[in-house]
Amino acid sequence: MGSFFAKYKLFGLVFLGLSAIIIYLFYNALQPENVLPVYQPNMVDKSLVDSTLYYKKKYHTIADFALVNQNGDTITQDNYKGKIYVADFFFTTCPTICPIMTKNMGEIQAAILDDPNIMLLSHSVTPVIDSVPQLKKYALEKGVVDSKWNLVTGDKKQIYELARKSYLAVKTDGDGGPYDMIHTENFILVDKEKRIRGFYDGTNREEINKLLEDIKILEASYED
């Protein structure tokens, strides 16, 4: 009799184990896939968006560009073709949020240094001041790795239009100047199709951690 119950006890334990595995697999299968949103202009604060795009609901991508980096090289969208990248807007003489943003971008650089799929792109909002020599000096001071991170300057109109019409990340300063900007603390995550996949406070430690996690999620989506 004892051997009979022992046999069924073993069967019961095996059945419970298999049931637990099946339930776990079903649970995972039913979980929503972790996918980042694709941001459109109508999803963003209007103060950051050019008025011509307020109601655009789909197909938004980063426009083509040609700017000059800290080494005097022309940087275009082709340098970022097939890459995931993080973009922001700054200026080298900014005494407030820029040093924090640059430090945090430096930490992102360290995290993605050995990943060929990820790059960084920082646009100067005072390109007249931020000449190539000024950007080079700043890059050396901040530990910028040229192969991973471009600090770019160039035509102010082009940078302004990129900020307002492409990256949806910069406010006007309200003084009547046609191409004057107040940059935000936003870091913008851009995918390989040039679409915006996230906005993050570049001065906030928790937001930086979230950005790094979202980079992993986005990169994994290209492995399916």
Q: Is 48 left (phi over 0), alpha (psi -120 to 50) or beta?
A: alpha
- Count other C-beta atoms under 10 Å from residue 171's C-beta: 15
* pLDDT-derived band at 117, boundaries 50, 70, 90: very high
Q: Is the pTM of this model over 0.85?
A: no
| Mean pLDDT for the chain overall | 87
> Has 181 been labeled as part of a binding site?
no
Cβ neighbour number for residue 105 with a 10 Å cutoff = 25
**Number of neighbouring beta carbons within 10 Å of residue 1:** 5
Spatial CA neighbour of 80 closest among 163, 162, 148 = 148
Is residue 93 pLDDT above 90, yes or no?
Answer: yes
172's enclosing H/E stretch is strand 170-172
What tens digit of pLDDT does each residue of 149-197 get?
Answer: 999 999 999 999 999 999 999 887 544 455 567 778 999 999 999 999 9
User: What residue has token string 């972790």?
Assistant: 34
Lowest mean per-residue pLDDT among 35-44, 95-104, 175-184, 196-205: 175-184
Going by C-beta distance under 8 Å and a sequence separation of 6 or more, which residues neighbour residue 52? 165
Helical segments of the chain, H only: 2-30, 98-112, 132-142, 156-161, 205-221
**β-strand pairing of 186-190 with 181-183:** unpaired
94 is known to lie in a ligand binding site? yes
Q: pLDDT tens across 119-147, in order? A: 999 999 999 999 999 999 999 999 999 99
The DSSP annotation for 9-52 comes to: HHHHHHHHHHHHHHHHHHHHHHSPP-------GGGS-GGGS-GG
The answer to whether the annotation marks 183 as part of a ligand binding site is: yes
